[in-house]
């Protein structure tokens, strides 16, 4: 346990600038290219639904479970008052969660806390696994968590560092694209039950305002994370 705690708080030296730049370019390509995005979008969905679940717990709504689907969609089931601040905050948390998680990850990588970042994400996945309510969701969480555990246990420090930077950049870039996709669906009237439209029904503000809010948080997180991780 002492050895594990020492590794958990260990500070790794900053990588070469080219590592950070290449990691950012690679993550941006994954998010931008349609095929790779569809293959990895489920990771953003995990963060999205985790955001809903965490906010539901913080606002004392009863959390009944989480479902992750093979089409990269997901749903978080809560029970409680159908209106009010708790419901509004729970609905707000989903689209901003990946970006805020990426910003927190950028801060940890900037501090050299790569091992701590990996284990914080592992703890997040374990908590979600306890709440998952479908087989596909459980398999995705087990696969993701298993890969992270193997990375932490067996990969050299420099490989852990590269993977951490790619993952953080992916969350920062990947937090923006679903919001843009949401707005396109709303224009075509294909997202009548989206988080933004639910928020519009819960409040006096239109759904477009919440799409703008999501995009503002995601954009600010992306630029903030880039500033923290910038090698220049």
Look at residue 4 and tell me if it is in a domain.
no
Q: What is the pLDDT of residues 13-26, one digit of tens each?
A: 888 999 999 999 99
Q: What is the pLDDT of residues 31-52, one digit of tens each?
A: 999 999 999 999 999 999 999 9
Q: Average pLDDT, stretch 78-91? A: 91
Look at residue 37 and tell me if it is in a domain.
yes
Look at residue 137 and tell me if it is in a domain.
yes
Q: Average pLDDT, stretch 91-112? A: 95
Structure confidence at residue 1 as a pLDDT band (50, 70, 90): low
| Predicted TM-score (pTM) of this structure | 0.94
Q: Average pLDDT, stretch 100-129? A: 94
pLDDT greater at residue 215 or residue 189: 215
Give the range of the structural domain holding residue 134, as residue numbers without chain letter.
16-229
* Per-residue pLDDT at 9: 73
Among 210, 231, 228, CA closest to 103: 228
- For 43, 49, 72, the CA distances from 130, given in Å and listed in that order, are 17, 13, 20
Q: How many CB atoms lie within 10 A of CB 142?
A: 13
Structure confidence at residue 192 as a pLDDT band (50, 70, 90): confident
82-102: buried (b, 16+ CB within 10 Å) or exposed (e) per residue? eeeebbbebbbbbbbbbbbbb
In the chain, the percentage of residues whose pLDDT exceeds 90 is: 81
Look at residue 93 and tell me if it is in a domain.
yes
Q: Average pLDDT, stretch 208-231? A: 95
Tokens of 9: 């708080």
Look at residue 7 and tell me if it is in a domain.
no
Total domain count for the chain?
Answer: 1
5 pLDDT higher than 90: no
Tell me the DSSP string of 164-226.
HHHHHHHHHHHTTHHHHHHHHHHHTT--TTSHHHHHHHHSSS-HHHHHHHHHHHHHHHHHHHH
In the block, residue with structure tokens 């950028």: 106
Q: Average pLDDT, stretch 143-152? A: 94
Q: What is the pLDDT of residues 68-83, one digit of tens each?
A: 999 999 999 998 888 8
Look at residue 1 and tell me if it is in a domain.
no
Q: What is the pLDDT of residues 198-212, one digit of tens each?
A: 999 999 899 999 999
Among 211, 231, 224, 221, CA closest to 95: 211
Look at residue 38 and tell me if it is in a domain.
yes
Look at residue 171 and tell me if it is in a domain.
yes
Q: What average pLDDT does the chain have?
A: 92
């Amino acid at each position: 346990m002492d050895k594990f705690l020492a590794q958990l708080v260990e500070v790794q030296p900053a990588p070469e600038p080219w590592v950070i730049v290449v990691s950012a370019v690679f993550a941006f390509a994954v998010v931008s290219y349609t095929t790779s995005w569809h293959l990895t979008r489920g990771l953003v969905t995990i963060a999205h639904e985790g955001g809903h679940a965490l906010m539901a717990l913080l606002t004392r709504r009863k959390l009944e479970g989480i479902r992750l689907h093979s089409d990269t969609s997901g749903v978080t089931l809560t029970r409680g008052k159908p209106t009010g601040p708790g419901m509004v905050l729970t609905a707000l948390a989903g689209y901003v969660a990946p970006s805020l998680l990426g910003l927190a990850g950028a801060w940890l990588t900037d501090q050299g806390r790569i091992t701590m970042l990996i284990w914080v994400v592992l703890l997040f996945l374990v908590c979600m696994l306890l709440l998952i309510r479908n087989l596909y969701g459980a398999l995705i969480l087990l696969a993701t968590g298993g890969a992270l555990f193997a990375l932490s246990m067996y990969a050299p420090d420099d490989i852990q560092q590269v993977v951490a930077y790619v993952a953080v950049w992916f969350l920062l870039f990947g937090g923006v694209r679903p919001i843009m996709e949401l707005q396109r669906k709303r224009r075509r009237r294909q997202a009548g039950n989206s988080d933004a439209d639910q928020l519009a029904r819960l409040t006096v503000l239109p759904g477009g305002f919440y799409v703008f809010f999501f995009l503002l948080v995601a954009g600010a997180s992306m630029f903030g994370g880039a500033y923290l991780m910038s090698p220049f």
